Amino acid sequence: MPYFDKNDLERAASLVHEHMPPTPQFVWPQLCEKAGTTVWVKHENHTPTGAFKIRGGITFADWLGREHPDVGGIITATRGNHGQSQARAAAAAGLKVKILVPKGNSPEKNAAMRGFGGTVIEYGNDFDDARIEAQRLSQEENLFMVPPYHRELVRGVASYALELFTAAPDLDTVYVPVGCGSGICGVIAARDALGLRTEVVGVVSTRALTVKLSFESGELTETNSAATFADGIAVRVPVREAFEIYSRGAQRIVEVSDDKIAEAIRIYYRDTHNAAEGAGAASLAALLLEKDKMRGKTVGVILTGGNIDTEDFATVLLGKTPHIA
């Protein structure tokens, strides 16, 4: 039974497209040459917040307004892209927005969240610490807790997969970076609703393996840290609701090193002149790692976002990898 039917996804896409145009998907010849296959890049770095999460923010705010019209404000935890999407959508609806981020979070993403109307509070050592504190404050301050994973978030996010599969319905495989899971679940949901046979492959950093360990063991498996510069996939506690979808709907989960992610960022910039953040480049890194397996096929990679800090981008373009202790 699909997570959504085609009508669900088309209604969500129509709502999303009232607020932003569809993003492009391009075949870049130099990437195809490197991978030995036809590569479609879904450019979620071209949204109004620079990342795919904006879509879920739109559908979640619409749902919240219908189902909880008396809510005066929201609170959430993020490393940046989810927070930007929630701040943009909720502030536009006249809601107070409070956002918890870990200490040392991206200053540029923090500034973007404030720019979209959010109050940003640094707490804890990583995303999961911030998430727990946000949950506590939601009770204390009577704010609606927006989780990192929710059906309405996935419904919006799935609109990018609907766009991609409509443009390129013959994809053999799609590589998707995985943090809390809305992205990969959205791709699985769209594939299933459209009745396609495309294999969906999740991608994680070797320094944040909770999703891969959970997938391969068949049970939720936490890790002690998630110290990757690819902050969009820097998660150490898996989300059960997402696990229940990708554990059945994904073909496999691939791990790539931060060095390989940094190289994929450089390749994107050299070959397409697109900026990719760490998580955004992870799917290309995984394709290049598995290029022998993918040779001759038609493959999609999701460039989930381009919100990389200037300092990290400079480090990467100089041939180095940002280090997170």
Tell me the C-alpha distance between 324 and 161, whole Å: 31
Averaged pLDDT for residues 276-301: 98
Residue 2's pLDDT is 63
Tell me the C-alpha distance between 45 and 61, whole Å: 21
Confidence check: pLDDT of 1 > 60: no
- Within 8 A by CB and 6+ apart from 136, the residues are none
CATH number of the domain at 54-146, out of 1.10.10.1100, 3.40.50.1100, 3.30.565.10, 3.40.50.920? 3.40.50.1100
pLDDT in tens, 117-141: 999 999 999 888 999 999 999 999 9
- Map out the domains of the chain as residue ranges: 6-52+151-317, 54-146
pLDDT in tens, 151-189: 999 999 999 999 999 999 999 999 999 999 999 999 999
Residue 71's pLDDT is 92
DSSP string for 188-213 = HHHHHHHT---EEEEEEETT--HHHH
Residue 3's pLDDT is 79
Averaged pLDDT for residues 283-292: 98
CATH code for residues 6-52+151-317: 3.40.50.1100
Tell me the C-alpha distance between 277 and 291, whole Å: 22
| pLDDT tier for residue 142 given thresholds of 50, 70 and 90 | very high
pLDDT in tens, 71-84: 999 999 998 899 99
- Other beta carbons within 10 angstroms of residue 29's beta carbon come to 11
Tell me the C-alpha distance between 238 and 226, whole Å: 11
